[in-house]
Structure 1
Amino acid sequence: MSRYLRNQSFLLLTVLILLTGGLVSCSQYSTKAVSKGYHNLTAHFNAYVLARDQINLAEQILFKTRQENYNQLMPILLPVDSILMQPVKPQIDDAIKKASLIPERHQNSKWLDNAYILIGRARLLKQDLPNAIEVFKYVNTKGTNENDKHTALVGLMRAYVEANDYTNALNVSEYLRNQPLNKPNTRDFYLTKAYMHERQGEYATAAGILDATFPVLKKGEATARLHLIAGQLYDQIGQPAKAVDHYRKVLSSHPTYDQSFYANLYAIQSNGLTGDKKRMAQSAEMFDDLLNDRKNEDLKDKVYFTMGLLEARSGRVDKAIGYYSQSIQAAGSNTTQVPYTYLEIGKLYFEKKADYTHAKVYYDSALALMPKQSPDYAALVTRKKTLDDFVLYRTTITTDDSLLALSKLDANALDKVLEKAIDQRQKEDKAQAALAQQIVDRATNGAGNTMPGATNSNLQPNERWVLYNPVALSQGKQEFSVRWGNRPLEDNWRRSNKEASGAIAADNSPINGSTPANSINPNTPLQPVDAGGGAVVLSGPSRKGQKDAMMAKIPFTKEAQALANQRIENALYKLGKLYKFELNKPADAIPTFEQLLTRYPNTLQKPEVYYLLYLSNEQIGQSSPWKEKLLAEYPNTSYARLTGKVVAQTTDSEAQALKTYTAIYELYKANNNAEALTRAETALGSVAGTQLEDKLALLRLLLVGKVKGIDDYRQAISEFVRDYPGSQLLPHVKEMQAAADQLSAKRK
């Protein structure tokens, strides 16, 4: 018995020794086969597979739930967005946690590099770009598998692109271009490189790389999307035939319905650019099919938009505007397309019709609905500002002209004009009251559909409720500001003794409809409806009160007329510059400046206007006397000097300029300032284009300060800043300007 117990004890001790040895040999730092096998198995199934599947699922969800903007060039790869990934954030965080187990517990596992790559992908999805970059760099530096290192470099390149670090992204791209990449890495490298060039605006390169990528892609929604993008890229670079080929390939790549719909629309647009008459003739039938397909009920606005686009490209502007208007009416509650439709209408009015007033209305509406991240947004803001200024200047000129004309009428004639204006305004108010009642009736009868964008049973199928039509709203706001000005939120805002500002009415009458910034035009209030359906007249300004308020704004006195003329003079000057510089319409700037000179021959802007007339005529290739008049009447102004800035810089001219400058400077040192100033102003034209021009201009500036008053000195400084923006002397002159401004302020 004792022998049996001894044998059992020995066997147990042996098992314990073997188990202890096995556990010791399974250390994550051991290089033994048993240890590596154990850690490979555990790392793969307990961490890597779970983390990989979660990240893949998160990417699939992000792809399926993406919001495509088919009105813009779509991104080849979905840009990372920390907000859009919030629904899958728990999965990504859990994936990072599981993938991190491998470097923590399984250092000798062959899945170590793969785990770091998964962590990098997850960081990229979370837009944690600095950490993603560091992880990918670590794999490239410490990794042991070449394919894994290449995968990490592709991820690194993508992270640099998302961080807008295109220099480093290009460096990684150049390195990978010479590496033997496997098929998955080749695919991802090409797509990332194409995405990089697309974001930089290099569309031809991006399209070419995509063409090289398609052979390694499988058919499906993702590939159909890339064909759609390739077509857009070729459209951008003016190769519509290639674009059409890609749009056709969308249809054979198992696309979604939206992808096939837009591929057909884009193909029609591109056919309109190829000049293929046969295909263009088929467009009408395709449009009919698309409009009659019940599946396209919520996409009709896109069809009408495309029809308008083709008409615009064919030069049929009015017909294009008609189709664009139908597109807006068909949009219903889905306003995604609407701002781009407004933008196209605005462009037609701006570029084809030169109707800037109507263009402003549509640009305003486009800006109200367009996403701020849209590539068109910044340019739209700039153009809107220009059109706002244009309407303001035109309004000021027309309104003050009308008021000045009224001030010259005799009492009887003026009274008739005012009576007619009040009658017209009451008629318009009744029409507005009827419209208000119509809106109330619709809202009351369709109470279940009164939310924004809801379809009201009383509306026609393609009619949009007026309060959710941005053009109608913009026009309404403009009409309100025209009639009442920018009113603060307060009681009794319509009282007749309020000041109003705004633009003039369409008939250009300051009485019948609108008034300038220093006048008002009171109107009877809108009439609400009583229970019986009749109008209830609210108390408001009496007819006599309205007439008195209008009379108060007509400039009868010389002082008021002088102010009106000053506003007109300033508006003509600014309108001419806007035509010349902002709208690039020199042919319109010329008559505007000429009108300014005719009406206000003593304007202080005369030298500059002469110069701008000279430039405008030169721009359209027309001879004019304005340069000679400028040199004859204002030879010592900066504008006269600007006409001679084409003087060749030769050794002789430089030597002569130095001689001239030295002589004037000697007079300045001798305190002979008056003579020095006269000679400096005469000599500036002769040294134009030489290296001493700005130095002589500074010397003249100093002489003006010694000989003339502070106002002339400040004017001379302003001229220097304007005429020599690239001069090395500019910082010093700006210091002088600040000191002069302080001195002028103290004297006041």
Structure 2
Amino acid sequence: MRKLIPYVIFLALSSCSQYNTGLLSRSWHNMNSRFNALLISREDIDVAKEYIAAHYTDNYEAVLPVYRVIDSTRLDTAKFYLIDAIKKSSIIAEKHSNSKYLDEAYLLIGEARILKGEFENAIETYKYLNSVSSSEQMKTEALTQMMRAYIELGDYKNADQLSVLLKSRTLTKRSRQTYLLNMAYYNQVRGEKAVTAVLLEEALKGMKKGAERARYHYILGQLYNELNQVTLARRNFRMVIKNKPEYDLVFNARLGLMMTESLANNTDLLFGKMLEDRKNQDLKHKIYYKMGETARRKKRTEEAIGYYGKSASEAGNDALSKGIAYKAIGDLYLDDLADYEHAAVYYDSTVITLPKAYLARTDINDRAMVLNEFIRYKKIYDLEDSLQRMAALSPEALDQKLEQSVLARRAELKKSREVQNEAAPVQAAATTGKKWRLYDAKEIVKEKNEFVRIWGNRVLEDNWRRREKSATSFVFSETERRMVEQPVVQPVISNAVSTQISEEENERKAVEDEIKEFKKRIPVTKIQLIASKRKQEEAAFRIARIYKLKFKDEQKANAAFRKFLDDFPKSSYEPEVLYYLALAQENPLDNAYATRLVQNYPNTSFGRQIRKGTVTMTHDREVEALELYKNAYRLYDEGKMTEVISALEEGMNEYVGSQIEDKMALLRIFALGRAGLRDEYYIALSDFIRSYPASDLLPKAKEMLAVLN
């Protein structure tokens, strides 16, 4: 019997091999897979999901994404659990390959890789499972989860193909819900709000009550609110509260309910109650922000700016909320008041305050740059206009004007400093409930350091601002003070008077120096005046163009373009200005501006663009254009550049709208270059890039311009 024991052990061990298909072997590997590796993997992924959700900061001012944005650089502890989940699931493939849980292990590996942000690796995992699995259900699960990886990569073509394929598959309850959420996410990133809402409604039908369900209800509330389906929005915001999620989501759902109240209702009392609620002490900035939105909807502009300002001041270290409040004020100045100067200031604050990751997903940087460009050109225009008007004054009148201007500017600067240094802190303390700075130890230390930086480490005494002290200063006892009290009075008064006189002299000298500096900038000679006019012309054109192309403000753009034509006749920008004004008319091809453009500037790209709309190119005319081009090319080979330029200019005017017009234009540019006409060559290249954006020759023109620059 004892001799049989080794054979029994050997038989038992060999039957447990992962390559054995026997019942005992499969049962043993199934048990180890299910209750060891697979169990730990599931728990790891669940913990990672909870950690990601807990440490993810939602921006409730925008529609929340169906799936939280995955940032592989900020997973921290979650990444540890995801790596462990992949390791444990891989054990099944390495040591328990005959287990029936092998397919599920690959699904878990794919899911963990998606949560880690390794989308390409996840796709490879799902593709492998789809190719080796014998279960159609598991293949469908793999394809369903693969769809999300493609969406995250922005590969919408493959995601679309998978969505079509999955429509013909039989989906389990779990895979159907995943498919619906993926489709909702797919449509959300493509901006299809209505379709996203419908798909989310379907996905919610089979979802358990809890925090995730509450989040999807909140997204639905936001979507319906943007689609002006107020009743459906309010229903979903109420469902958020019923699912009892974290307080942050409940709080924002209540704000959502208040924001969907009719404008006829008085929401001030409701907002007031929320401000008084002790649970909302750290969330006041969000309440003020919503109060600002409500005031803006009611067209109470000043009130809205005040609430947004309170939101920014209450946000504290919350850079996202503070930046969004600044942006709201900037938007209000830009869109509602068309006050571009103030808008630029608040957009600058927005760019400085908002996190870089948030800025990267928006066009805020671009808008701030456009506003700053506008302000820069406006300051140039105003400055040159002021300098030119001063240049026309008599010397006496100029001196008087400059003195008044400098004194007014210095007085305004002094006043603003006083307000900033004295009134503002007291007001801030009153409005924010913070300590007044003289009661705040940190502020006192900071202010003391600032004082030392500017004035040095001075002794606390009278006239501490004076750099030089009298060498005969003494400290007296009380008796000695009474004995010499009378003689000391006169020097003190004398010192005070001399100090006052010295300060007045310094102020007067500073004013005189500033006037002298300003005089240097006044265009007194003819050449200086021409240069000033040229700067003003450039600035005026850029301002009008920004109105037209960036701000989309047709009324202001047209007014600026018309003023430009009056102020700067025969400008090099006149063809483009006439073109924009022609397009703004009811009949762009038949109006005074179009006529003037075609008559005065027929050879410009803008003149040809207008003429294109009035010319029909037949087959015969295309043949004629081709013959002209061949003849011009022959002349080019012969080195007759003057004849080439003349022939092509005639051809471009005669056969405007031809299929080879861009080839004519580029050959003309080559001829200008070989003829040594550098200025015309540069202008023609710039004109080509602007006039033929769809031409196959555009890259060549851009390369030539880059070389020239």
Q: Matches of 1:529 and 1:566 in 2, distance apart? A: 52
Aligned residue in 2 for 1:457 = 435
Aligned residue in 1 for 2:450 = none
Cα pair 2:16 2:25 within 8 Å, conserved:
yes
Q: Matches of 1:566 and 1:320 in 2, distance apart? A: 41
Aligned residue in 2 for 1:330 = 314
Alpha-carbon offset, residue 265 of structure 1: 1.4
Alpha-carbon offset, residue 248 of structure 1: 1.5
Q: Matches of 2:633 and 2:145 in 1, distance apart? A: 68
- Counting only pairs closer than 5 Å after superposition, residues 175-574 of structure 1 correspond to structure 2 as 175-272=165-262, 280-281=264-265, 283-374=267-358, 378-431=362-415, 434=418, 438=422, 456-458=434-436, 531=460, 536=465, 542-543=509-510, 544-574=512-542
Q: Specify the SS of the correspondent of 1:216.
A: coil
1:627-657 deviations in Å (ceiling 9; x for gaps)? 3333343344443332211135353xx4246
1:255-307 deviations in Å (ceiling 9; x for gaps)? 222112111212232345xxxx6xx5153332222222221122222222222
| Count of residue correspondences | 651
User: Alpha carbons of 1:338 and 1:600: their partners in 2 closer, same or farther (altered >3 Å)?
Assistant: same
Cα pair 1:580 1:589 within 8 Å, conserved:
yes
Alpha-carbon offset, residue 70 of structure 1: 1.0
Q: Matches of 1:137 and 1:121 in 2, distance apart? A: 13
Bigger mean CA deviation after superposition, 716-725 or 426-435: 426-435
Cα pair 1:613 1:626 within 8 Å, conserved:
yes
**One-letter identity of the residue aligned with 1:554:** I
Cα pair 1:430 1:527 within 8 Å, conserved:
no
1:346-389 deviations in Å (ceiling 9; x for gaps)? 22221222111111111111222223333785422222222112
1:444-479 deviations in Å (ceiling 9; x for gaps)? xx9xxxxxxx98511699xxx9xx9xxxxxxxxxxx
User: Alpha carbons of 1:194 and 1:19: their partners in 2 closer, same or farther (altered >3 Å)?
Assistant: same
User: Alpha carbons of 1:720 and 1:77: their partners in 2 closer, same or farther (altered >3 Å)?
Assistant: closer
Aligned residue in 2 for 1:88 = 78
Cα pair 1:40 1:109 within 8 Å, conserved:
yes
Alpha-carbon offset, residue 391 of structure 1: 0.8
**One-letter identity of the residue aligned with 2:246:** T
1:688 aligned onto 2:656: yes
User: Alpha carbons of 1:633 and 1:116: their partners in 2 closer, same or farther (altered >3 Å)?
Assistant: closer
Aligned residue in 2 for 1:627 = 594
Q: Matches of 1:231 and 1:176 in 2, distance apart? A: 28
Bigger mean CA deviation after superposition, 196-205 or 423-432: 423-432
1:600-623 deviations in Å (ceiling 9; x for gaps)? 33433333333333334458x899
Q: Matches of 2:2 and 2:643 in 1, distance apart? A: 120
1:234-271 deviations in Å (ceiling 9; x for gaps)? 23334333222211111211122211211121223234
User: Alpha carbons of 1:547 and 1:240: their partners in 2 closer, same or farther (altered >3 Å)?
Assistant: same
Q: Matches of 2:422 and 2:44 in 1, distance apart? A: 56
- Judging by fraction of residues, say which structure has more helix: 2
Q: Matches of 1:180 and 1:668 in 2, distance apart? A: 65
Bigger mean CA deviation after superposition, 204-213 or 532-541: 532-541
1:52 aligned onto 2:51: no
Q: Matches of 1:430 and 1:72 in 2, distance apart? A: 42
Bigger mean CA deviation after superposition, 595-604 or 296-305: 595-604
Alpha-carbon offset, residue 36 of structure 1: 2.2
TM-score by length of 2: 0.81
Q: Matches of 1:76 and 1:427 in 2, distance apart? A: 56
User: Alpha carbons of 1:556 and 1:132: their partners in 2 closer, same or farther (altered >3 Å)?
Assistant: same
Q: Matches of 1:85 and 1:576 in 2, distance apart? A: 48
1:103 aligned onto 2:93: yes
Cα pair 2:598 2:611 within 8 Å, conserved:
no
Q: Matches of 2:457 and 2:61 in 1, distance apart? A: 42
Q: Matches of 1:533 and 1:434 in 2, distance apart? A: 21
**One-letter identity of the residue aligned with 1:140:** N
Bigger mean CA deviation after superposition, 390-399 or 21-30: 21-30
Q: Specify the SS of the correspondent of 1:198.
A: helix
Aligned residue in 2 for 1:492 = none
TM-score by length of 1: 0.77
Alpha-carbon offset, residue 702 of structure 1: 6.6
Q: Matches of 1:737 and 1:300 in 2, distance apart? A: 55
Q: Matches of 2:306 and 2:644 in 1, distance apart? A: 67
Could you tell me which runs of 5 or more consecutive residues in structure 1 were left unpaired when the two chains were aligned.
1-10, 447-453, 469-524, 743-748
Alpha-carbon offset, residue 714 of structure 1: 4.1
Aligned mate of 2:112, from 122, 129, 152? 122
Cα pair 1:684 1:697 within 8 Å, conserved:
yes
Q: Matches of 1:198 and 1:632 in 2, distance apart? A: 51
Q: Matches of 1:263 and 1:330 in 2, distance apart? A: 21
Alpha-carbon offset, residue 224 of structure 1: 0.6
Q: Matches of 2:524 and 2:337 in 1, distance apart? A: 38
1:73-94 deviations in Å (ceiling 9; x for gaps)? 2121223332232213333333
Could you tell me which runs of 5 or more consecutive residues in structure 2 were left unpaired when the two chains were aligned.
447-453, 468-502
User: Alpha carbons of 1:148 and 1:348: their partners in 2 closer, same or farther (altered >3 Å)?
Assistant: same
1:533-563 deviations in Å (ceiling 9; x for gaps)? 9783789783343333233333333333232
User: Alpha carbons of 1:223 and 1:733: their partners in 2 closer, same or farther (altered >3 Å)?
Assistant: closer
Q: Matches of 2:648 and 2:589 in 1, distance apart? A: 33
1:32 aligned onto 2:32: no
Cα pair 1:290 1:296 within 8 Å, conserved:
yes
User: Alpha carbons of 1:122 and 1:706: their partners in 2 closer, same or farther (altered >3 Å)?
Assistant: closer
Aligned residue in 1 for 2:486 = none
Q: Specify the SS of the correspondent of 2:45.
A: helix
Q: Percent identity?
A: 32
Alpha-carbon offset, residue 116 of structure 1: 2.5
